Amino acid sequence: MTFVEFQNTFKGFPVISLSDIEKIYPNFDNRRLVEWQHKGYLTKIKNGYYILTNHEKSENFMFLVANKIYKPAYVSLESALGYYGLIPEGVFAATSITTNNTATYNSKLGRFIYRHLKPQLFFGYKLIHHHGYSISIADPEKALLDFLYLNKLNDNDSIRELRINYLQMKQVIDYSKLEKYLSLFKSKVLTTRVALFKMIFYA
């Protein structure tokens, strides 16, 4: 098989998995994947997952890849906060929540970071659309709570260092939804951190 044939088959796939390849080409020679990586035609994201190197690159594409290579997961934490304009955006990493183990994958496309939450806390996300595909991303309220829950921000100084965009926060955060989501965490630690957060940014 030539790479042109392979590319024509998978050009509509944002992420190409080894299982996708084997379904279409049961006798595919995996050595071609190594060869095409060396030639710069394919980019490996993690074992068994690739993208076409000439695929468009964007923040939403990073998020889509993040959803595809480790499931279940939704984009949250710094990436979602940046997406909503609540903190300065991080360009080279996509941060997500998963019910699986915490994991990090480094690739030429960027870094993909997954933080674990128990299944009861796997909520508060929605779908956005990118070129016909759906991306799971936290609501802004849930992204903020995920961040405060998973990071040790127990004093005023550490919370001030978040560089929150206060004006944007007033526009995108639904405070009744924030309180509803907070109650579902059932966490005294998170409740304390949210109280500190409010004291600093709403004083």
Q: What's the pTM value of the predicted model, to 2 decimals? A: 0.93
Q: What stretches of 30-174 show up as alpha helix (H) in DSSP?
A: 31-38, 59-69, 77-83, 140-150, 156-160, 166-172
pLDDT at 5: 96
Question: 177-192: per-residue pLDDT in tens?
Answer: 999 999 999 999 999 9
Report which of 63, 200, 47 is spatially closest to residue 143, judged by C-alpha positions.
63
Can you list the residues of the chain whose pLDDT is less than 70?
Answer: 90-91, 203
pLDDT at 56: 85
Report which of 190, 193, 62 is spatially closest to residue 137, judged by C-alpha positions.
62
Asked if omega into 140 is within 30° of 0 (cis), the reply is: no
